[in-house]
Amino acid sequence: MDAQIQHLVHLQALDTRLAELRNRLQAIPAQLAAVDARVSNTRQQIAAAKEALTASLKDRKKYEMDVDSWKEKARKYRDQSFEVKTNEAYKALQHEIQHAETQVAQAEDRLLERMVAGEEYERQVKTAEGSVNIVEGEAQAERQKIQAEESSLQQELQTKEAERGEIASEIPEELLGTYERIAARRHGIGLAEIRDEACGLCGMRVRPHVFQELRRSDSHEIFQCESCTRILYYVEPPVAISPDAESKASAAGISANEP
Ligand SMILES: [Zn+2]
């Protein structure tokens, strides 16, 4: 393989990884926002439970006052009933007393209901407050994990960008420009390996003389795919000497393919 093409293959690998790193870094603010939203959601639940508790306590006060005021009225009518002169007036007061006592009983029922509800709200607030600590603890751990990932991605990005700069400086400007123009149009992939005498990415057949030229170890010509325009390169398959040598070569990966 031509040295320039080798640089391009290396550059392509770096560019692919760089694009991946940038994508992942871009997604991080949304990930952090989702964690924050979970915490604020739990906080809102607590606020709602507290509000319900406050309202229930207010009702309780009101019903307590109702009980007292109806009790007071009943007492007043009872006092008056000792002083009335006519039977009619006495009966009327008895009626008032009965009414006031009914009201006392009703207010006491409502009060009891509120007290039970209040206990339930109190329990809800306590439960929610307990869970907010858990949720916050988990959120904090998750934030730290995301931030640690972010800084490691940033670090790799810087290293790979520097590496890219070095490799790019080894490639003639015109060739680099061609690669970059194609990559920009083709989802970041400016190179295509020839497989089965066709472009490995779009499947377009490679003309025989181009294929022959690319197979020559002393060839420096650059060919582009006639369909997707990507810069073509060819990796000679490993020569099978014995089954043992072949398995060694395949175990060693791509580097075993080079002469
Ligand atoms: Zn192609």
How confident is the chain (259 residues) per 10-residue block, as mean pLDDT? 89 97 97 95 89 91 94 94 90 93 94 91 88 92 98 98 97 96 96 96 96 86 95 87 56 47
Please give the distance, rounded to the nearest whole angstrom, from the Cα atom of residue 229 to the centre of ligand 1: 6
| Strands laid side by side in the 191-195 sheet | 198-199, 191-195, 231-233
Please give the distance, rounded to the nearest whole angstrom, from the Cα atom of residue 199 to the centre of ligand 1: 5
Distance (Å, whole) CA 130 – CA 122: 12
- Listed in order, the ranges of the chain carrying CATH 1.10.287.1490 are 3-170
User: Among 180, 186, 196, 188, which Cα is nearest to 235's?
Assistant: 196
Per the structure block, which two tokens stand in for 150? Answer: 């972010």
Please give the distance, rounded to the nearest whole angstrom, from the Cα atom of residue 120 to the centre of ligand 1: 69
Please give the distance, rounded to the nearest whole angstrom, from the Cα atom of residue 195 to the centre of ligand 1: 11
pLDDT (0 to 100) of residue 218: 82
Residue 55 CB contacts under 8 Å (≥ 6 apart), including other chains: none
pLDDT (0 to 100) of residue 245: 52
pLDDT (0 to 100) of residue 49: 87
Please give the distance, rounded to the nearest whole angstrom, from the Cα atom of residue 200 to the centre of ligand 1: 7
Please give the distance, rounded to the nearest whole angstrom, from the Cα atom of residue 206 to the centre of ligand 1: 9
Strand duo 191-195 + 198-199: pairing: antiparallel
pLDDT (0 to 100) of residue 247: 54
Please give the distance, rounded to the nearest whole angstrom, from the Cα atom of residue 4 to the centre of ligand 1: 19
Burial of 24: CB neighbours in 10 Å, binned 0-12, 13-18, 19+: middle
Please give the distance, rounded to the nearest whole angstrom, from the Cα atom of residue 15 to the centre of ligand 1: 19
Contact (CB, 8 A) for 229 and 182: yes
Please give the distance, rounded to the nearest whole angstrom, from the Cα atom of residue 251 to the centre of ligand 1: 29
As a whole number of Å, the end-to-end CA separation of the chain is 9
Please give the distance, rounded to the nearest whole angstrom, from the Cα atom of residue 239 to the centre of ligand 1: 26
Please give the distance, rounded to the nearest whole angstrom, from the Cα atom of residue 138 to the centre of ligand 1: 48
pLDDT (0 to 100) of residue 258: 43
Please give the distance, rounded to the nearest whole angstrom, from the Cα atom of residue 12 to the centre of ligand 1: 16
Please give the distance, rounded to the nearest whole angstrom, from the Cα atom of residue 226 to the centre of ligand 1: 7
Is 1.10.287.1490 the CATH number for 3-170? yes
Please give the distance, rounded to the nearest whole angstrom, from the Cα atom of residue 176 to the centre of ligand 1: 18
Please give the distance, rounded to the nearest whole angstrom, from the Cα atom of residue 26 to the centre of ligand 1: 30
pLDDT (0 to 100) of residue 69: 95
Please give the distance, rounded to the nearest whole angstrom, from the Cα atom of residue 49 to the centre of ligand 1: 63
From residue 1, give the alpha-carbon distance in Å to each of 8, 16, 80, 133, 217: 11, 21, 117, 61, 6
pTM, entire model: 0.69
